[in-house]
Amino acid sequence: MITRLIIGVLAGAVLGGIVGYVGKCSGGACPLTCHPVGGMLTGAAIGLLIMLAVQPRGGGATANFVPSKNVIEIQSTAQFDEIVKQKPVVLADLYADWCGPCQRLKPAIHQLADEYAGRATVVGVNVDVLKELAARYGVSSIPDVRIFRGGKPSQQLIGLRDKQEYAAALDAALK
């Protein structure tokens, strides 16, 4: 992200400097075209603002994200209840598509699904789609990760945390 911002500032400064050199506003009232230095400063500020405004969706840790086949996307409350009842340990990622922290957490959840395959089941629950399920468990802040053991909730981790914290919660549930 820092690299993108630097590129935006430099590109803006170069373009602003060119406009300031070529433009030469006769009255001197326009900071962009009255002088090359003024053009560079204004261009740099505009470049920075543009780069801040057009951040790529899913950048950073999610840029090369490949979904795991070991994550079950829950489609109904009945499906969720069945999985929680049948599987000894279930990690449920309660999220929403519009939630930035939820999107940043998704790669870690999918990695955990692969690492704990055969020992724990990982499910994704979109709280916007399954509002009844979110209401049942009192979800008021997302991301909300719940660990179920023996069909009952055993641990809750609210907010974006390190992958190691989720792994530790799974390890504790598996003991």
Which domains occur in the chain, in start order?
2-55 (no CATH), 65-174 (3.40.30.10)
pLDDT on residue 23: 66
pLDDT on residue 109: 96
pLDDT on residue 58: 46
User: pTM here?
Assistant: 0.65
pLDDT on residue 132: 95
pLDDT along the chain (175 residues), means of 10: 73 73 64 67 75 60 77 96 96 95 95 95 96 94 95 94 95 93
SS (H, E, C) the chain: CHHHHHHHHHHHHHHHHHHHHHHCCCCCCCCCCCCHHHHHHHHHHHHHHHHHHCCCCCCHHHCCCCCCCCEEECCCHHHHHHHHHHCCEEEEEEECCCCHHHHHHHHHHHHHHHHCCCCCEEEEEECCCCHHHHHHCCCCCCCEEEEEECCEEEEEEECCCCHHHHHHHHHHHHC
Of 25, 30, 34, 99, which residue is the catalytic one? 99
Is 25 among the catalytic positions? no
Of 25, 30, 34, 102, which residue is the catalytic one? 102
pLDDT on residue 57: 52
pLDDT on residue 65: 77
Is 102 among the catalytic positions? yes
pLDDT on residue 42: 76
